[in-house]
Amino acid sequence: MSSNIAACLVPVTILVLFYLVLFPNNFTHLQSALAPCDGGTKNGIVVDVDTPPADDGVDFRMFFGIVTRADFYERRSLLRMAYALQPRPRRAVIDVRFVICSLEKEEDAVLVSLEIITHNDVLVLNCTENMNDGKTYEYFSSLPRLFPGAEAYDYAGKIDDDTYYRLDALADTLRTKARRDMWHGFLNPCHIDPEWQYMSGMGYIVSWDVAEWVAATPELRDDHEGMEDEAFGRWMRKGGKGRNKYGEEPRMYDYLDAGMRDGVNCFRHELVADTVAVHKLKDRHKWARTLRFFNATQGLKPSKMYHVDLTPKI
Ligand SMILES: *[C@@H]1O[C@H](CO)[C@@H](O)[C@H](O)[C@H]1NC(C)=O
Ligand SMILES: *[C@@H]1O[C@H](CO)[C@@H](O)[C@H](O)[C@H]1NC(C)=O
């Protein structure tokens, strides 16, 4: 570990001197450039060093946990790029992390270790994948233990690995919302009494006090009948939690495009510019169309090395 730090410090020191000489007033660039070396605990996975945040003040910090499986290497690699290429959210720190159960297979232990060394963005829980929904309990209850006291975040998200959030839009919508007893997502099922609605598993965010309450209520661990999001809804209702409940429909929705047989309904429509999150990105084609729509390919520079035709093919 210490040799890693030493190896890191030499180029960092040179970089610092270089910056101080060339750009004495531009510390934001310097901080962004340093982010990969600091262990990555507080800086999110932002690599967009060219667009410093409009304001250095931070309104809130979020642990954005994408719950996935150890062996979903391709999905993680796609999600990492997708989030790294987004513009940095204004005045918010959103730490994008991957949440997986214990690494039982030999190859996963080795290969996920390499990811951790490279990206430092993985949380490994003490659970097994077939542990029907003990995973939700394990996830939320681990957070206050892992980040106690001053390390606590304001919000914790539990995000599906087939959902794409636009973090800047998410930050803007949360900025004005409650910081306590808060529950944000897509209200499901659409047309029932709000009292019985819960947040769809596509992705939901709770305030940190809710994660603390889950951690302090071990009997929830055994209440996991039915779908995971339904069970979480039951916990919240029984505990009288999440009274500040915010449904983000129609800015959160399931993916739809003209090539699909499905039609528009209360939870599904075509991509829109002011999206907060789009769900059901089940294959590469849907990811590709979504990422192109949100201009993720915009950074592709002309080069003699390649010619890429990005127009949609029918
Ligand atoms: C898993 O268990 C080990 C040993 O009890 C503990 O050190 C570690 O913090 C736990 N991990 C999480 C994410 O809770
Ligand atoms: C993508 O970029 C184009 C060109 O700058 C712009 O007109 C369009 O609104 C952007 N799309 C979204 C979803 O932001």
For range 60-68, the mean pLDDT: 98
Q: pLDDT band at residue 134, thresholds of 50, 70 and 90?
A: confident
Q: pLDDT band at residue 10, thresholds of 50, 70 and 90?
A: low
**pLDDT beyond 70 at 153:** yes
Report which of residues 223 and 12 the model is more confident about: 223
**pLDDT beyond 60 at 18:** no
Flag the least confident range among 94-103, 117-126, 219-228: 219-228
| pLDDT, position 240 | 97
**pLDDT beyond 50 at 40:** no
Nearest residue (by CA) to ligand 2, atom 1, is 295
Nearest residue (by CA) to ligand 1, atom 12, is 125
Residue to probe by mutation, ligand 1, list 126, 135, 143, most atoms within 8 Å of CB: 126
Could you give the CA distance from residue 184 to residue 60 in angstroms, rounded to a whole number? 15
Report which of residues 7 and 239 the model is more confident about: 239
For range 69-89, the mean pLDDT: 96
Q: pLDDT band at residue 129, thresholds of 50, 70 and 90?
A: confident
Q: pLDDT band at residue 168, thresholds of 50, 70 and 90?
A: very high
Nearest residue (by CA) to ligand 1, atom 3, is 126
CA distance to 68, 187, 293, per residue, from 192 (Å) = 30, 10, 32
Nearest residue (by CA) to ligand 1, atom 5, is 126
Ligand 1 pocket, 142 CB below 6 A? yes
Where helices occur in the chain by DSSP H, the ranges are 2-22, 27-34, 73-84, 106-119, 134-146, 167-175, 208-215, 228-238, 284-293
For range 46-66, the mean pLDDT: 71
From ligand 2's centre to the CA of 294, what distance in Å?
Answer: 7
| Domain residue ranges of the chain, discontinuous segments joined by + | 2-46, 60-293
Could you give the CA distance from residue 60 to residue 71 in angstroms, rounded to a whole number? 32
For range 222-234, the mean pLDDT: 91
Provide the 10 A C-beta neighbour count for residue 247: 18
Give percent of the chain with pLDDT exceeding 90.
75
Class (C level, CATH) for 60-293: alpha beta
Flag the least confident range among 26-40, 43-57, 175-189: 26-40
> Of the ligands numbered here, which is closest to the C-alpha atom of 275?
2
**pLDDT beyond 60 at 14:** no
- With tokens 């931070």, the residue in question is 58
Please state the pTM of the whole predicted model.
Answer: 0.83
For range 247-266, the mean pLDDT: 95
| pLDDT, position 21 | 44
Q: pLDDT band at residue 208, thresholds of 50, 70 and 90?
A: very high
Q: pLDDT band at residue 36, thresholds of 50, 70 and 90?
A: very low
Residue to probe by mutation, ligand 2, list 272, 295, 300, 310, most atoms within 8 Å of CB: 295
**pLDDT beyond 80 at 260:** yes
Chain centroid to CA 23: how far? Answer: 33
